[in-house]
């Protein structure tokens, strides 16, 4: 029972979750670990429902300062040509402000890049993906990663979706919920540049969807050690229909999200007109998110309708193919990531996955009394456990492939898509 901001916390998991040994040999299950690392959820009682929690994210901009240095990458895969940016955490505050970048962000100098930024230290490293139209500067993201970074034991980097966080668009290849290619290239780069660092994944909202799709595509060969997805919208078609169904969903959230994407497009007007066939005149007339997806995603990727894009880009099937310890955190009162879209059955079918649902928190809200954000606690606890307490080397030998065989030799592949995504 909820009382004075105290949310219920429920877990969904396989009846036989994977076993993970601690470094002292003590056996645990993934569900045991998640239940231990996810603390009670005590939120601000004045923000007593999902709408208040979600709307307060637009008003409360207080967050720990996180400083970054940005590196520009050129896509290695010809099918996804163009550049993307990655912001690497730095403990040092820059001497000068770069007005062309978000706050607390500067570029690596030519000298730093020429000398190489790699190292052979074994500190764990987070690969972070932000939400729709966001970036490394987002308040919810900084709350989520700051405790790990402040400990001095962790490194982190944030993949900025193309055009986001004041990055440039250099080709007609934009981003969407299936845009796993930049993350894949970055992870390969990190494996080569920091060969001894264990890598972990963290995604928020649309970034959680992209991360989950990436983990499913990689399957048993995934280079990451463990991952968390916060406020994943999961089934994008169901979440879109849920937004349309209510007055506030349609006229507030879908409008705000659509306006954010329209503003992002306007920022890159010159590049969009140069590299794509999209009509900026048509884009400026859009109001809702589904309208934006109808005009942009259908034209850019050949989807016949926005619902076809939503079905193809959803991560509900991808979760079946994940073969690393995976914790998803959602709220039942989230007005954007609708609870009806949660893949509870799929989670229960995969022993590598656990879904934690809180009854309060909204969409990336989880505001506590005093302004703290609850989601930073399970993120910190889960990753510290996986990095320093768990013996993840034994999991490697237990990974299985992505298919399940049914009668007559038929096979179900959860990653079979209508739009092929080359992985090489």
How many other CB atoms are there within 10 angstroms of residue 227's CB atom? 29
* Active-site residue, selected from the candidate residues 334, 337, 341, 376: 334
* Active-site residue, selected from the candidate residues 136, 363, 375, 376: 363
With vertex at residue 322, the alpha carbon angle to CA 232 and CA 400, rounded to the nearest 5 degrees, is 170
130 as an active site residue: the answer is no
pTM for the whole structure: 0.95
Burial bucket for residue 278 (CB in 10 Å: 0-12, 13-18, 19+): middle
- Coil, strand or helix: which one is 310? helix
Beta carbons of 169 and 163 less than 8 angstroms apart: yes
Beta carbons of 200 and 226 less than 8 angstroms apart: yes
What lies within 8 Å, CB to CB, of 121 at 6+ separation is: 194, 196, 197
Rg of the chain over Cα atoms, rounded to whole angstroms, equals 21
205 as an active site residue: the answer is yes
What lies within 8 Å, CB to CB, of 204 at 6+ separation is: 128, 129, 130, 131, 134, 138, 140, 141, 144, 230, 231, 364
pLDDT tens by residue, the chain, 424 residues? 577 899 999 999 999 999 999 988 899 999 999 999 999 999 999 999 999 999 999 999 999 999 999 999 999 998 899 999 999 999 999 888 999 999 999 999 999 998 889 999 999 999 999 999 999 999 999 999 999 999 999 999 999 999 999 999 999 999 999 999 999 999 999 999 999 999 999 999 999 999 999 999 999 999 999 999 999 999 999 999 999 999 999 999 999 999 999 999 999 999 999 999 999 999 999 999 999 999 999 999 999 999 999 999 999 999 999 999 999 999 999 999 999 999 999 999 999 999 999 999 999 999 999 889 999 999 999 999 999 999 988 776 556 566 665 556 677 788 887 556 666 5
Domains in the chain, CATH or no CATH each: 6-234+320-400 (3.40.50.1820), 236-313 (no CATH)
- Token pair listed for 277: 């066939």
- Cα first-last separation, the chain: 50
The predicted structure's pLDDT at residue 412: 79
The whole-angstrom separation of Cα 47 and Cα 45 is 5
> Between β-strands 155-160 and 125-129, what pairing exists: parallel, antiparallel or unpaired?
parallel
* Active-site residue, selected from the candidate residues 133, 146, 161, 205: 205
Beta carbons of 179 and 204 less than 8 angstroms apart: no
């Amino acid at each position: 029972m909820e009382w004075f901001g105290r949310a219920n916390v429920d877990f969904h998991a396989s009846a036989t979750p994977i076993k993970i040994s601690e470094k002292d040999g003590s056996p645990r299950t993934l569900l045991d670990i998640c239940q231990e690392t996810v603390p009670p959820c005590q939120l601000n009682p004045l923000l007593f429902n999902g709408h208040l929690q979600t709307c307060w994210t637009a008003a409360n901009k207080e967050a720990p300062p996180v400083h970054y240095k940005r590196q520009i990458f050129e896509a290695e895969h010809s099918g996804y040509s163009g550049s993307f940016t990655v912001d690497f955490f730095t403990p040092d505050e820059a001497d000068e402000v770069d007005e062309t970048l978000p706050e607390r962000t500067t570029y690596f100098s030519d000298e730093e890049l020429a000398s190489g930024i790699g190292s052979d230290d074994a500190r764990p490293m987070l690969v972070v993906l932000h939400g729709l139209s966001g970036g490394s500067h987002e308040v919810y993201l900084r709350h989520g990663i700051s405790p790990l970074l402040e400990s001095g034991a962790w490194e982190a980097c944030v993949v900025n979706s193309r055009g986001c966080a004041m990055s440039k668009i250099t080709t007609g290849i934009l981003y969407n919920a299936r845009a796993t290619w930049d993350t894949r290239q970055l992870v390969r780069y990190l494996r080569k540049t920091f060969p001894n660092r264990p890598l972990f994944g963290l995604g928020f909202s649309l970034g959680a969807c992209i991360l989950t799709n990436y983990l499913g595509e990689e399957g048993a060969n995934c280079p990451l050690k463990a991952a968390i997805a916060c406020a994943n919208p999961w089934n994008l078609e169901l979440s879109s229909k849920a937004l349309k169904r209510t007055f506030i969903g349609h006229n507030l959230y879908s409008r705000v999200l659509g306006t954010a994407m329209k503003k992002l497009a306007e920022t890159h007007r010159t590049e969009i007109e140069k590299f794509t066939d999209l009509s900026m005149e048509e884009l400026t007339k859009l109001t809702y998110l589904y309208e934006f997806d109808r005009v942009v995603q259908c034209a850019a990727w050949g989807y016949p309708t926005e619902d076809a894009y939503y079905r193809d880009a959803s991560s509900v099937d991808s979760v079946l193919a994940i073969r690393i310890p995976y914790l998803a955190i959602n709220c039942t009162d989230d007005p954007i990531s609708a609870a009806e879209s949660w893949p509870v059955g799929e989670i229960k079918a995969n022993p590598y996955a656990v879904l934690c649902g809180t009854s309060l928190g909204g969409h990336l809200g989880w505001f506590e009394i005093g302004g703290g954000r609850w989601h930073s606690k399970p993120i910190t606890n889960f990753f510290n456990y996986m990095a320093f307490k768990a013996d993840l080397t034994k999991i490697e030998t237990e990974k299985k492939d992505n298919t399940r065989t049914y009668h007559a030799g038929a096979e179900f592949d959860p990653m079979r898509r209508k739009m092929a995504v080359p992985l090489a």
